[in-house]
Amino acid sequence: MRFKEFSSSVKIGSLQVETIIERPSLEEGETLNGTLYLEDGEDEKEIDWIELKVLRLVGLEGQELETVIGKQSLEFAGADKSKKSVMHQFEIIPDERWSEESESARLVLRTSVFLMNGEQAESEDGFTYTTYES
């Protein structure tokens, strides 16, 4: 059995931010672990911060209701600009809000990149979180 790969990539000019999570299918008690890979090309765009949000999306009457259930920010202001390739690990610990309450609910990790010049972009992909009834 092959699990779905998690793929989220933000590109602004030659700057690219890839979000990789270790396990796109989590079970109760496991933590959402991953790595951000930053590649800066010729533009030398400066990242102000990156925000990771875990969202529960629920489809209701043709629309999707979005609820933030986890969040982490990574600050880059004043960071060393000499590196063209940077890697940052992250960890988001689940809580009771991660349990999917309806069959139409799904979980996504959204990566938002904010640049010093005011530009921003985002990308997201879904993952699963399974809980066990006691």
Q: What is the CATH number of the domain that holds 92?
A: 2.60.40.640
Mean pLDDT of 89-97: 91
Mean pLDDT, the chain, rounded, equals: 85
pLDDT number for residue 2:
41
State percent of the chain over pLDDT 70. Answer: 89
Domain presence at residue 26: yes
Q: Give yes or no for a contact between 55 and 66, defined as CB atoms under 8 angstroms apart.
A: yes
Domain presence at residue 67: yes
pLDDT number for residue 55:
95
Q: Give yes or no for a contact between 109 and 125, defined as CB atoms under 8 angstroms apart.
A: yes
What residue numbers bound the domain in which 17 lies?
8-130
Global confidence as pTM: 0.86
Domain presence at residue 27: yes
Domain presence at residue 1: no
Mean pLDDT of 10-26: 92
pLDDT at position 104 over 50: yes
- Strand pairing category for 85-92 and 8-12: unpaired
SS3 (DSSP) at 28 = coil
Q: Give yes or no for a contact between 13 and 41, defined as CB atoms under 8 angstroms apart.
A: yes
pLDDT at position 79 over 60: no
pLDDT at position 1 over 80: no
Domain presence at residue 88: yes
Tokens, residue 92:
């988001």
pLDDT at position 117 over 70: yes
Domain count, the chain: 1
pLDDT number for residue 101:
67
Residues in the chain: 134
